[in-house]
Amino acid sequence: MLGAVPALLTYYWRMKMPETARYTALVAKNAKLAAADMSKVLQVELEDETEKMDEMVSRGANDFGLFSPQFARRHGLHLVGTATTWFLLDIAFYSQNLFQKDIFTSINWIPKARTMSALDEVFRISRAQTLIALCGTVPGYWFTVFLIDVVGRFAIQLMGFFMMTVFMLGLAVPYHHWTTPGNQIGFVVMYAFTFFFANFGPNATTFVVPAEIFPARLRSTCHGISAAAGKAGAMIGAFGFLYAAQDPHKPDAGYRPGIGVRNSLFVLAGVNLLGFMFTFLVPEANGKSLEEMSGEAQDDEDQARAAAAVQPSTA
């Protein structure tokens, strides 16, 4: 419940925050308010831009709907790409996150639960998860922060899925080697690298890219569809791994035999490989404006050329 406190503290300030100028001008059709909001935020007078923004609103460029043939032609594959990659990522990512304790127990890095007290179990699991976070998860995010505008979203996502596949296979193929005494640290290092490349990879880019490549009127909707696909993947990853990772010979009480941790890692490697392939449906947004990515800038250029071509004949 304490997690609700920061959200409540931000509520008032979020209500005071203006909408983006693109939304206010192109969706809410209020160019004057958009110019005023931009002047307030940027502390620059933009009154002379109001006429231009009114012109953008009156043109009605990119005025197609989500279920229109025009959207399907321009952005249909993009939406398939963002939704599918987010879906596949969350299957692998949440499987790894939620069931770290089962994986660590299976390689004998953490003792079986029945051999220790509840407090001792919590301490050991928390220590292991903190180590993974500090060595893999957090550094991966910082690499993305510093390099996303240098390397680009597409390259980071592609590399992330590829390296997650490689390290998953590195865990699964010699799995019995990792379970032998003295080799658990090597497993943990490899496992931490999967989290590093998840965050220096698709766990960052899958929620950045949908916010950049769709038209202003449909941007939040397409981002929401992509995010919903991700949550569906998280549910599949959470429940699927819980049942799939059960020992085929000695499952936990109340569970049916599964395919085991090793085969589950093979499945997750295949999921990451699919994410790698579907990434090719997602365009690179680095260095381009939102209008360029959505095609709105091209529409403006086409309309300007058409107007220039018509003008001499009507003169």
CATH number for the domain that contains residue 130 = 1.20.1250.20
pLDDT at 303: 52
Number of structural domains (the chain) is: 1
Query: Domain range holding 220?
Result: 72-288
Please determine, for residue 236, whether its predicted confidence score (pLDDT) is greater than 80.
Answer: yes
Distance CA 153, CA 209 (A): 7
Tell me the three state secondary structure of residue 49.
Answer: helix
Return the amino acid letter for 222.
C
pTM, full prediction: 0.79
Contact 226, 206 (CB under 8 A): yes
Both tokens of 53, joined, read 């923004």
**What's the pLDDT band for 262 if we cut at 50, 70, 90?**
confident
Residue-wise pLDDT for 18-70, tens only, equals: 888 777 777 777 777 777 777 777 777 765 555 665 565 555 555 678 888 88
Asked if residues 258 and 246 have their Cβ atoms less than 8 Å apart, the reply is yes
**Confidence check: pLDDT of 196 > 80:** yes
Residue 46 inside a domain? The answer is no
Quick check: is 3 in a domain?
A: no
The answer to whether position 303 is within a domain reads no
Maximal C-alpha separation, the chain: 91
Domain assignment present for 272: yes
Helix 260-278 and helix 69-98: axis angle, to 10°? Answer: 150
CA proximity to 224, closest of 88, 95, 79, 85? 79
Does any domain span residue 86?
yes
What is the model's pLDDT at position 297? 56
- Per-residue pLDDT band for 295 (boundaries 50, 70, 90) equals low
Residue 204 lies in a domain: yes
Q: What pLDDT is recorded for position 315? A: 46
Give Cα separations from 233 to 3, 125, 230, 238 (angstroms): 24, 25, 5, 8
Which residue type sits at 67? F
* pLDDT for 126 beyond 50: yes
Of the spans 71-85, 118-132, 169-183, 301-315, which averages the highest pLDDT?
A: 71-85
Whether 266 is covered by a domain: the verdict is yes
Q: What does the pLDDT read at residue 106?
A: 66
- Which token pair is 99? 């069931």
Residue 201 lies in a domain: yes
Q: How confident is the model at residue 248 (pLDDT cuts 50, 70, 90)?
A: confident
Three-state DSSP class for residue 224: helix
Tokens 């020992």 map to which residue?
A: 247
